[in-house]
Structure 1
């Protein structure tokens, strides 16, 4: 009688299986961190919208957002602990990048005063499409015809949300479109700086230029919040923004970007939920349809990038 073949784990296979399990757990943890990060970002938008509707200047809210970020980052990344962190090979680009991020946040906060959270975030999801379009002339990363078609479909989704020509377009919608363009240039410069400066240097300069620009103007735009609830919300804006980016960094340290990217779109669910609970807002059918088109186009581009990397 022939012996029954059995597979006995050897010392060689056990470490491989253990490493695979550990990698899978790290990826799942990274996905959880990404979902937590976008939840904090949705909370940040909800606080900013509440403050804007209460009459607090969005520029003040933006200043508080990045002043707290600069303070917290400086605890870990500063010239005292690491003198080389201030040395940038492209200081001009670092300053422009910081100002673009500050402008992007300010545009978003102003738009939130007038538009639904779901509407603003749906339009903002067109930023990766804009990055893919600009990457050709600015970075030499040209898109194929299929990718250009997907980008075009995504922009059609933005038009479905905005609906120009159907009725009066709220001016705040144009702020969202401007935010998409500004953020796309911010992302392009971030990718370009990766070839010249360390991540620590880029983090050090992230909010610095915007805060330095706004600090002298603060006495002219500052209005003391009416009650202590507004102070709490201003602190929450700073806290949610800082914690969101912290979780974002931790997530990317544990999972590849192509694994994490689809879960960025869960922010739409948080935005719809918070918008309904806090402001009684429900997105209209055109906003939902446009968001689905934009998200679908973004996921298609992500899938194409993943296949290209694997090839």
Structure 2
């Protein structure tokens, strides 16, 4: 199996694991408060990540102060992303929220151009504009403007974009598993603080198994996403990120009986198509460079 094939399979595995986790969390949302879910899932995930990091020998803080500040900033961005995304997920169809997140290659490209001054040609800027139009078709503002849940989905995209841009500024000396563990612990702390404002619901064995399953799938997603960065060409592997939308469509229909309407599907298609074009142009630019 070639490195690119392994990378593509790992990327698809990562997207599948994260999307299954999203479906489980949405399922839990009908029985448990959101902050209780975040706390319990986060605590279990932190344990799994810590054990994995210890096994890999990747637990150390031997990197400079600038990187530590960036890790802290990334954790703050992850807090916002987790809260806004899960709140939107509880109130919107799984496929719709996932489709909005497919705009990330576009928003990261735009953010890199605006903040870091990275060159972006007119073709990619046009693709970004069309992609944003597709995103508007997904969240569709009504006569009174965007719904609160649609705004939360857009804020989640903003936070994840900030997180990814911060990650790009980190040096190679920062272990991926340290960043992952810091993220898991920070999100767990968010859930714990928020859970103090709600009444906890007793767990039965079914809810307990679902939370355990969510934590395992999050770990699988993290593990695959770390491994995928170590094999193959990023330009070849990155487009397989969009397989998460296929999983979201299937799980949304099987578990929740939701299927996006034609306008939403059109918007999702525009977002995916323009994202793929942006990745293709980036790959071509690097080859010419």
Q: TM-score scaled to structure 2, two decimals? A: 0.90
Q: Which moved more, 1:45-54 or 1:59-68?
A: 59-68
- Residue 6 of structure 1 is matched in structure 2 by none
Mapping of residues 120-135 of structure 1, within 5 Å: 120-135=97-112
Q: Which moved more, 1:208-217 or 1:180-189?
A: 208-217
Quick check: which has more Rg, 1 or 2?
Answer: 1
Higher relative contact order (CA 8 A, sep 6+): 2
Measured in 2, the distance between the counterparts of 1:223 and 1:140 equals 47
- Residue 306 of structure 1 is matched in structure 2 by 283
CA offsets, 1:13-63, max 9 Å, x none?
A: xxxxxxxxxxx5232122122212211111111111111122x12222223
- Residue 223 of structure 2 is matched in structure 1 by 246
Measured in 2, the distance between the counterparts of 1:144 and 1:230 equals 50
- Residue 103 of structure 1 is matched in structure 2 by 80
Residue 77 of structure 1 contacts residue 85 of structure 1 at CA under 8 Å; is this kept in 2?
A: no
In the TM superposition, residue 73 of structure 1 has moved relative to its aligned partner by 2.2
Change in 2 beyond 3 A, CA 1:47/1:253:
same
Q: Equivalent of 2:182, from 194, 205, 208? A: 205
Residue 59 of structure 2 contacts residue 177 of structure 2 at CA under 8 Å; is this kept in 1?
A: no
In the TM superposition, residue 82 of structure 1 has moved relative to its aligned partner by 6.4
Q: TM-score scaled to structure 1, two decimals? A: 0.84
In the TM superposition, residue 290 of structure 1 has moved relative to its aligned partner by 0.1
Measured in 2, the distance between the counterparts of 1:216 and 1:156 equals 37
Measured in 1, the distance between the counterparts of 2:58 and 2:89 equals 38
Aligned partner of residue 265 in structure 2, secondary structure: helix
In the TM superposition, residue 280 of structure 1 has moved relative to its aligned partner by 0.7
In the TM superposition, residue 252 of structure 1 has moved relative to its aligned partner by 2.6
Q: Which runs of 4+ in 1 moved over 6 A?
A: none
Mapping of residues 292-303 of structure 1, within 5 Å: 292-303=269-280
- Unaligned 5+ segments in structure 1 are 1-23
Q: Equivalent of 1:155, from 104, 117, 132? A: 132
Q: Which moved more, 1:137-146 or 1:216-225?
A: 216-225
Change in 2 beyond 3 A, CA 1:291/1:234:
same
Q: Over the residues paired in the alignment, what is the CA RMSD in angstroms?
A: 2.4
Measured in 2, the distance between the counterparts of 1:166 and 1:261 equals 37
Change in 2 beyond 3 A, CA 1:95/1:211:
farther
Measured in 1, the distance between the counterparts of 2:146 and 2:253 equals 22
Residue 97 of structure 1 contacts residue 189 of structure 1 at CA under 8 Å; is this kept in 2?
A: yes
Measured in 2, the distance between the counterparts of 1:88 and 1:61 equals 34
Residue 61 of structure 1 contacts residue 237 of structure 1 at CA under 8 Å; is this kept in 2?
A: no
Residue 37 of structure 1 contacts residue 243 of structure 1 at CA under 8 Å; is this kept in 2?
A: yes
Q: Equivalent of 2:35, from 59, 71, 92? A: 59
